[in-house]
Amino acid sequence: MLVSAKEMLNKAREGKYAVGQFNINNLEWTKAILLTAQELQSPVILGVSEGAGKYMCGYKTVVGMVKGMIEELGITVPVALHLDHGTFEGAKACINAGFSSIMFDGSHYPIEENIEKTTTLVHACDVLGLSLEAEVGAIGGEEDGVIGSGECADPNECKMIADLGVTMLAAGIGNIHGKYPENWPGLSFETLAAVKEKVGDMPLVLHGGTGIPEDMIKKAISLGVAKINVNTECQLSFQAATRKYIEEGKDLQGKGFDPRKLLAPGFEAIKATVKEKMELFGSVGKA
C-alpha cells in the first residue's frame, strides 16, 4: 500500500526503531527494495531525488511504476513514495503526480524564506494527507551536485520549522551524504539531544546513512531518529556485484549477456544491503 510516512514514523519513534528510506534509480532497485520489505515485514520509504526522477522519465512514470509493482508483487507492507531533497517546484510537481510523501529542502534559504515556503507546503500536504519532511542546517557531502560540509543545525531554528506542522524533521548533526572521509569527527549527539529537547515528539531524520558506525546509528535512534536515509550503500553494493560478474567473464558465457542475468547479481546485492539495514534499524516485523 502506498501511504503517507506519518503513521509508520510515529510508531517507529514510539517503538525506538527507525524506518529506512532507500533511494530508487530504476525498476531493479525498486523491485529489490519492495521485495525485501515484504519478506522482512518491514515498513519502507522509497526515496526519489529530483535527478533520479528525471532519469526515470519524470514523477508520473515513477508513481505508475511503484503503484503497479505494489499491486503485481502483492506488497502489503506500508510503502511511502517520498521526494528526497525537493525544491519548492519539485515538491509541487510530486504532489500533483501522486507521491505520498514530500521532502522540501529549504535549508539553503534564509530561515524566514525556509519558513514561508515550508508553510505553503504544510497546507498543500495536509489537504491530501501527505507527509512532509523539512530540513534545517545543510547536510554535508554531495547531493545532486550540491556540496556542503557536515554542519550542525541550530536547535531554535529546528523548533521554528517543526512548529509549522511538518511530519518529520531532518537536522544536520555532522552527517554527510556519500562516503565519509577518514577524518570525519562523527555525529554530534549534543546537537541531536538539543534538537530533540526543542522539537519534542517529532520524528527526526538522519540523512547520509552510508558508513555511519552501527553504535552511532543505535544511539541516534535512542535519541529520537525515526527515519534513516540510505542511498550510496545500495549503489556501492550494486556496483561491486556487477563488477564481479563481468570480471569473472560470466557475461561471455552462454546467455550471460541477457540483461536479466547481467543485472541479477546487483539486484541480489541491493536486497542484501536493504536487509542488513532493516535489521540494524530494528524495523523488521514492524509492518
Nearer to Zn ion, 107 or 237 (CB): 107
Pairing relationship of beta strands 225-230 and 101-104 according to DSSP bridges: unpaired
Nearer to Zn ion, 198 or 207 (CB): 207
Query: Mask 184-223, x = binds Zn ion (CB under 5 A)?
Result: -----------------------x----------------
Enclosing H/E stretch for 141: strand 141-143
Q: How far is the C-alpha of 281 from the C-alpha of 18, rounded, in Å?
A: 5
For Zn ion, give the closer residue by CB, 13 or 207.
Answer: 207
The distance of closest approach from Cβ of residue 181 to Zn ion in the complex, given in angstroms and rounded to an integer, is 17
Contacts of 99 (CB under 8 A, 6+ apart): 48, 59, 63, 81, 82, 83, 130
In the chain, % helix, strand, coil (3-state, to 5) comes to 50, 20, 30
Tell me the number of residues near Zn ion by CB under 5 A: 1
* First-to-last C-alpha distance (Å) of the chain: 11
Does 84 participate in catalysis according to the annotation?
yes
207 vs 271 by CB, closer to Zn ion: 207
Nearer to Zn ion, 196 or 207 (CB): 207
Q: Return the amino acid letter for 73.
A: L
128 to 67, 100, 132, 230: CA distances (angstroms): 17, 9, 11, 27
User: For residues 18 and 281, is the Cβ–Cβ distance under 8 A?
Assistant: yes
CB of 283 to Zn ion, least distance (A): 19
Judged by CB under 5 A, does residue 82 bind Zn ion? Answer: no
Lay out the site mask for Zn ion across 259-278 (x = CB under 5 A, - = otherwise): --------------------
Going from the C-alpha of 221 to that of each of 29, 146, 261, the distances in angstroms are 26, 27, 38
Residue 23 CB, nearest distance to Zn ion (Å)? Answer: 9
In the complex, minimum distance from the CB of residue 40 to Zn ion, in angstroms, rounded to a whole number: 23
Phi, psi of 34 (to 5 degrees): -65, -45
CB 170 within 8 A of CB 134: yes
Which residue's beta carbon is nearest to the bound Zn ion? 207
Shortest gap between Cβ of 47 and Zn ion (angstroms)? Answer: 8
Q: Which of 84, 201, 251, 258 is catalytic?
A: 84
Binding-site ranges for Zn ion (CB under 5 A): 207
Q: Write out the catalytic residue numbers.
A: 84
